[in-house]
Amino acid sequence: MDAGDATGSVDDDEVDREPPADGIVSIRGALVGLGFIWLTAVFLFGAMGAAVYAVTASTGYLLVAIAAAALAVAAGSASLRTFGYR
């Protein structure tokens, strides 16, 4: 390996690159995972609101609550897969 030129810089081709260690999450992967966590929270909030409205006012919103809960479970599962837990 060369010490570099007069300015002290070393070419990128000359630098030994090691692969990242196991368990390290990339920035992009972390942002996608955080997005899925955010979606999970939003869908859970919507499911709770629809369930409360279904109990107090209209039972038709019970289907909306079930659909929002299913989407929350799907987003939570995707977040876990993004971070390598499933």
Asked, for residue 74, whether it belongs to a domain, the answer is yes
Contact at 8 Å (CB) between 54 and 62?
A: yes
**13 falls in which pLDDT band (50, 70, 90)?**
low
Q: Is residue 9 part of a domain?
A: no
Give residue-wise pLDDT tens across range 48-86: 999 999 999 988 899 999 999 999 999 999 999 988 887
* Domain containing residue 64: 29-82
| Residue 70 lies inside a defined structural domain of this protein | yes
Residue 11, in any domain of the structure: no
* Total count of domains within the chain: 1
Asked whether the predicted pLDDT for residue 24 surpasses 80, the reply is no
Environment class of 79 (CB within 10 Å of its CB; exposed 0-12, middle 13-18, buried 19+): buried
pLDDT in tens, 32-55: 999 999 999 999 999 999 999 999
Q: What is the pTM of this model?
A: 0.68
Instruction: For residue 2, give the 3-state DSSP assignment.
Output: coil
